[in-house]
Structure 1
Amino acid sequence: MISQRKDDHVRLAVEQQHGHVGRNQFDEVTFVHHALAGIDRPDVSLATEFAGFSWPVPLYINAMTGGSEMTGRINRDLAIAARETGVPIASGSMSAYFKDESCAGTFSVLREENPDGFVLANVNATASVDKARRAVDLLKADALQIHINTVQETVMPEGDRSFSAWVPQIGRIVEGVGVPVIVKEVGFGLSGDTVRVLRDLGVRVADLGGRGGTDFARIENGRRDLRDYTFLEGWGLSTAACLLDSRDVGLPVLASGGVRHPLDVARALALGAHGVGASGTFLRTLMDEGVEALVTQLSSWLDQLAALMTMLGAATPAALTGRDLLIQGTLREFCADRGIDTAQFARRSAAAPTTTGGIR
């Protein structure tokens, strides 16, 4: 039953991606063009450091799958692509492994094919500390990702309906697992208030996982006989909104959800993310065209991100937070309602260091 559910998730996610390349709130974030701000390409570094981590690039393959024969093959190919491009990679939920250890190889292949890469294990917020440790040990993981997904569980026919224990259990895992913990949403977003809760629990990083990418309410509704939760499709906060809402919390954040191309990566970094992840976009490429095409796509994204940084005058991913941005449309309305001053982003390069003779 679990392996069938994992295969269903992949099938429905790919179907969603094939019909889903539309606009989202990243399109309401625009860089102010300064025509003489550019720097030299050799001066650009993609390396990013945050929360004690050092990544060679600010792009990562976010949690997807595992637990069945098919998803094991997918994880093998994802691990190969991560190895070939140097991008960090997260496992899908390892709950299937806890219920049936015979599927361990569908997860451990992430480390076997990528022995020197940055790998994150993945559990849900109800996992015991012992299970969290087992997940980390199986993957020899550098960090643990805990996914939170109340909306998905609500729509899932066999989903959890008891959520009050999640906060204290996350705290127990943080204290007992022995590696840094990253908490992520699965596509409905983390508000600034939620990120504050995670900070106070000792979580090392928040992966905002906003609306705009794979919609798990839609996926789980597709598995229901009556399709009776259609009204929850599109629920949540966009990734751009989450970045703005959590900007002053004091906890490093990663951005995932609705990331369609390298410009979205640059936008997310400029809004304060330390790294940017994608799942559905990369899964579609892998399933449609194969692992070589995914390696090419990842390499192209990194090259194009470096090109954008060169044009914008940002020598590092962190330097993008000094580039001028216009926040427009419904995203600006969200900021107004949440008390966020968008004007501060429009002229912030005036205070940023420059190597271009004073032109920013």
Structure 2
Amino acid sequence: MTVHCRRAAAWAALVLLGSGCAAQQPSAAPGPGTGDPALLETGNRLALASPAIARLWPGFWSPRHGFILAQPHQAVLLVSERAPDSVYSPLPPRGVPRALRGRAYLARGEVPGLNSSRGFAFDLRVPVAGSRLTAVPLKENPAATIEFLVHEAFHAFQLDHFAPPAREDVAFDARSASDPWFAALAEVERRQLARALAVPRDSLEHVLRGYLAVRARRYSAAAASVREEELHLERIEGSAYLAGVTAAAISDGSGPDRVAAVVRDHLSTPLDVPDARWLLRARVYGTGAAIGILLDRLGVEWKARLQEGATFHALLAGAVPLRPGEAEDLATRVLEEAVPRRR
């Protein structure tokens, strides 16, 4: 098995819906117009934001990054520095935003094999003129679409540039993950991270030690397979979620405070997911993204280490180490504050 195939197998859990291997054959040639206004508006917003997005993570995005946006069943906008195959037609400069001129191409109707053009899921890596681009359908507004696209494009980047996880081939212990105490402690951790995002710098390490103490208690009773899955998914989904939310904030002119507020809202929102494994997955988007933000506030250079295989949890534990004998008492105090005793 080649290195590429081994890596693809290790990361198969990332690609649940989109294949990115679509053949590009449009159902009809584009007409003489300049394209769908919603596609052009979103594409222009992303193109204008791309120089700033390129600074999010070394090697991930470029100032003139290519992408594909779909208005399901109607049209597909492809933005690329390289001219695609003849299945897409170039849009004339007139009426096309300046940031897209000379690199905007359109196909009308559905593109067979392109999930996004049918409004289904996304396409992680679509071959286009020697490169691979991520495609997504439009969402409710440009910022939401940009968040979605950059999130999924970051997963494509991870497939090629993140070290595969060192995980044992052990069946997931659903009983351990379904334990009510495990779930209750995980919710306390989410609230503690939300609190950490809101406190001033001089209180941050104290709040984070409380978070780490509760997580240490939860992990002490959890099955190894559950811990490994959570650490892996937190590393992958948390970093992709943070990339997407940050890109959306850049595109609408917001700053870091907006990013923190979105992540804090995610952590503060109850998760109604009945399946224990999917609930674990739903939690880690917010916990991973929050830890990334907090590591930045602590002045930790963490991105290269995460890419090389470190977990968010290990990076935070190294930045804010618990003192010997501190974890049990601190966890108890945090839990008593989270669930006051009845008198």
TM-score range, shorter chain: under 0.3
**Structure of greater relative contact order (alpha carbons < 8 Å, 6+ residues apart):** 1
Using the size of structure 1 for normalisation, the TM-score is 0.26
More helix by share: 2
